[in-house]
């Protein structure tokens, strides 16, 4: 089908997944260029907050999860509870990492950043491999299309140009690392 909401979320997932290799390549950057490491983490936190949380999690929390819970044949409410708890935990992670950057505890910040991205990728795998196929089987084509347009409305409301800009961040960061030979 053309206007597929699961595909839209999966596309956002693959944008988010791009930061994993960036974060791993930043290992030890603080020794070479302290300020640059801090600036890159700030940019990553901005990406997580504005893209992963605002553009992406909002679609799941406001549209997909409630639609699943309200579907009479959906019997896995505990999966949704778990995924919502993860979103909450991700918000906590960004706060903790920000505090560690502010107090200049960069090694600790990096350990937490790696744990965060690891948890985020596990979360994405559950959605891609389990939740989205359940949704595609439960909903009719017109229900799926309706969901797709509700997602689109969220993007329009938040700003599609902003979304495109945010989607550039993983690549920009990779370019910044290349300058330092990382
Ligand atoms: Fe999620
Ligand atoms: Fe997701």
* Domain ranges across the chain: 5-179
CA separation (Å) from 34 to 11, 20, 30, 106, 112? 33, 20, 4, 9, 17
The contacts of residue 166 (CB under 8 Å, 6+ apart) are 47, 50, 51, 55
In this structure, are residues 42 and 101 in contact, taking their beta carbons and an 8 Å threshold? Answer: yes
Distance from residue 33's CA to the centre of ligand 1 (Å):
33
Write the pLDDT tens digit of every residue in 95-134. 999 999 999 999 999 999 999 999 999 999 999 999 999 9
Q: Average pLDDT for residues 170-180, to the nearest whole number? A: 91
Question: CA 44 to CA 108: how far, in whole Å?
Answer: 16
Name the closest ligand to CA 51.
2
Distance from residue 11's CA to the centre of ligand 2 (Å):
10
Taking 80 as the threshold, does the pLDDT of residue 180 lie above it?
no
Whether CATH 1.10.357.10 fits 5-179: no
Question: CA 26 to CA 37: how far, in whole Å?
Answer: 7
Q: Which two tokens stand for residue 48?
A: 């997580």
For the whole model, what pTM was predicted?
Answer: 0.96
Distance from residue 4's CA to the centre of ligand 1 (Å):
17
Question: CA 26 to CA 32: how far, in whole Å?
Answer: 10
In this structure, are residues 158 and 55 in contact, taking their beta carbons and an 8 Å threshold? Answer: yes
35: number of CA atoms within 13 Å, CB side? Answer: 0
Write the pLDDT tens digit of every residue in 30-74. 999 999 999 999 999 999 999 999 999 999 999 999 999 999 999
Distance from residue 85's CA to the centre of ligand 2 (Å):
13
């Amino acid at each position: 089908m053309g206007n597929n909401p699961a595909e839209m979320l999966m596309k956002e997932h693959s944008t988010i997944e791009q930061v994993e290799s960036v974060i791993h390549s930043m290992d030890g950057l603080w020794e070479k260029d302290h300020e640059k490491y801090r600036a890159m983490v700030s940019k990553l936190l901005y990406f997580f907050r504005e893209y992963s949380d605002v553009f992406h999690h909002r679609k799941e929390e406001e549209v997909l999860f409630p639609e699943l819970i309200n579907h009479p044949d959906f019997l896995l409410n505990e999966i949704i509870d778990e995924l919502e708890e993860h979103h909450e935990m991700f918000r906590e992670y960004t706060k903790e990492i920000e505090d560690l950057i502010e107090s200049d505890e960069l090694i600790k910040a990096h350990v937490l950043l790696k744990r965060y991205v690891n948890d985020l990728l596990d979360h994405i795998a559950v959605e891609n491999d389990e939740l989205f196929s359940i949704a595609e089987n439960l909903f009719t084509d017109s229900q799926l299309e309706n969901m797709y347009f509700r997602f689109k409305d969220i993007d329009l409301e938040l700003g599609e140009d902003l979304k495109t800009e945010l989607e550039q961040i993983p690549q920009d960061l990779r370019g910044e690392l290349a300058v330092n030979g990382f």
